[in-house]
Amino acid sequence: NAGVTQTPKFRILKIGQSMTLQCTQDMNHNYMYWYRQDPGMGLKLIYYSVGAGITDKGEVPNGYNVSRSTTEDFPLRLELAAPSQTSVYFCANRQELWIAGPGFGSGTRLTVV
């Protein structure tokens, strides 16, 4: 989905470091999501947002924070990185139609050492 852009594509962090994964969209969708995916597994929802200024926790929010100051941007913050946060992170957006499924960015592969 060219409408969702994630940066960086790859990152190595040391234990205890912090970083922000950037996600921006050019499709003006109110719904945005952050997922993490471990090898060969499905996606687990970290946080989601239904519009600027509104965020909520998903299945696995511990160790992460998000903000949604604009419709376009939905950054994911990792504080005090831990090896368990080694994963691929996907940002997605979605239309406000009940039958619509999310469209995804290309992902950020994060390794914590």
Which residue among 21, 25, 34, 48 contacts another protein (CB under 8 A)? 48
Q: Which residue has the tokens 């160790």?
A: 63
Distance, CA of 55 to CA of 41 (rounded, Å)? 25
Which residue among 24, 25, 64, 102 contacts another protein (CB under 8 A)? 102
Give yes or no for a contact between 7 and 109, defined as CB atoms under 8 angstroms apart. Answer: no
In whole angstroms, the minimum distance from the beta carbon of 79 to another protein comes to 23
Helices (H), 2-78: none
Which residue among 21, 25, 74, 107 contacts another protein (CB under 8 A)? 107
Amino acid at 35: Y
Binding footprint of another protein on the chain (CB under 8 A): 1, 31, 33, 35, 40-45, 48, 50, 56, 58-59, 90, 92, 94, 98-107
